[in-house]
Every structure is written in C-alpha cells, then in structure tokens.
Amino acid sequence: MRLPSRFLAPMSALLVLVSLVVPAGAAQTINVSGTTNLAPLVSTAAAAYEKANPGVTISVKGISSGAGIASLKAKQVDIAMSDVAVSDPDFADTILGVVGFAFVVAPDVGIKNLTQKDAVAIYSGKVTNWKALGGKDEKIVLIGRQIGTGTRFVFEDKVAKTLIPIDTENNATAVINKVLATPGALGYSATGFIDGHQSMVINYEGVAPTEANIRNHTYPFATDEHLYTLKTADAAITAFVQYVKNDTAVLRDNGVF
C-alpha cells in the first residue's frame, strides 16, 4: 500500500519514538489475539514495528473478541483485540476508534434500506421474504457470524436478537463472499472489508455507513474498537499498543475512525 506523503513524516517520528522505548537488540515476542476485524490492521502495524525494533516479534491471530479476552485473562497472550467493551480490574483499555458495520445484500433483493423494525422482524423469523419489505419475491437467507464473536455481539446488542438459525462464517470477508454468491442473502460486516463491493451495501435506519457518519456517530450500527492489555504489561507491549493507536493512516485504511 502506498501512503500519501502527508502521513510519512508523522509515521517516521513515531517509529523513532518506539525505537527509543524498546532497546536495540532486545529480544521479545508479543502475542496478540482477538477480533478478526482488527487483525489485518494490527498485522500491518506489527510489520512496521518489528522493522523498527530488531529482536521484537509480534504474533497476531484473528479468532474472535471473546477468545482474545479469555486468552488475555488467562495470560496466554499480551494483547486482546476486541469489538466489545469489557470491564475487568486487571485490564488496561486503549480505544483505537470507532468502526461501523454495514448490512450487505445479494444483488437480486431490491432493497436499499433496512430499519431496526425490519431487522427485528427478519431475525425473529416473522419476515422471511423480501417482498414483505418492498423487495423482490425472494426468500431471505441470513448470513452472519458465530456466537462469541464481537461482530455478533454488537449486532445483537444494537440491532436485533437472532432468534432463528442462520448460516455463519469465520470472518467478514467470508460473509461478504457468501452473501454475494447466495440469492436473497442478507449479512453484515465491518465496513473496512467492503472495498470493491459497495453495490451490496444498503442504508440502515436511512443512514449510509460512510466514514463521516460513522465518525460522528450518526450511523447507529457501530462500536468502539479496543486493545486490552494487563495493567502490569511491560513497556514494550504498551509501546506497541500506542504505536497502533497513533498510526492513523492504517486505522483509517481499515475502517477504524
């Protein structure tokens, strides 16, 4: 990825700062686990961090918010990535920004907007055909994420409870690909994974999931993104967390505003 020149000077200064925090030649492995929504951007940041700090290795695994939090609590990882806010006296919370989740539909459904009332009816099984919402005469096929993922939690917390069986996928990209390939499908995904598929995106409550609407909290299907560490984490771990937080170019490129 080629970054605009206005980002290069701040990033260079940040890398110098990080290199002062972690002594040259210091050998350390930092293990990161959690939401698949943050894994790509944290991996990108980790590559730059490792280059600036020889001897530091960062392992990033995207599984789910719940798995990351559980692993941090068990001291199996150093950093947990989460779509969900948790309260734990042993954790330090760094908020990276806000991420929006877009509803995506198959090309044949004929719907441009979904209300919360519509979503509740669909995910409770009361509405099963797009025709009932003004769309095509097509059965609604639901594609989503597994229980335990941050995406599923945010959906059920902010939009609707899932009261009927749905098809589940392991990550946002898989959800989008499945919706694209399935007639009548409806799914939801973090907006950072939508690139190239904008035609699948519909409004929610009459609001488009644009950067501006997500950033100013006009778009309602959104959440803060978190990096959690133990409060006892050493300087190298907290330095990397701050590096990610301050890497605004990578955050924005991955839909975190």
Query: Which pLDDT score, from 0 to 100, does residue 10 have?
Result: 42
Please check whether residues 48 and 81 belong to one and the same domain: yes
| Judgement on whether residues 104 and 201 belong to the same structural domain of the protein | yes
Instruction: Say if residue 195 is in the same domain as residue 110.
Output: yes
Question: Same structural domain for residues 107 and 203?
Answer: yes
Domain that holds residue 47: 5-97+224-253
Residue 17: predicted pLDDT: 44
CATH number of the domain that residue 50 is part of: 3.40.190.10
Count of structural domains, the chain: 2
Identify the CA nearest to 156 among candidates 167, 144, 141. Answer: 144
pLDDT value of position 27? 81
| Paired tokens of 222 | 């959104």
Per-residue confidence of the chain (257 residues) as pLDDT tens digits?
333 433 334 434 444 444 444 455 558 999 999 999 999 999 999 999 999 999 999 999 999 999 999 999 999 999 999 999 999 999 999 999 999 999 999 999 999 999 999 999 999 999 999 999 999 999 999 999 999 999 999 999 999 999 999 999 999 999 999 999 999 999 999 999 998 899 999 999 999 999 999 999 999 999 999 999 999 999 999 999 999 999 999 999 999 99
**Judgement on whether residues 103 and 208 belong to the same structural domain of the protein:** yes
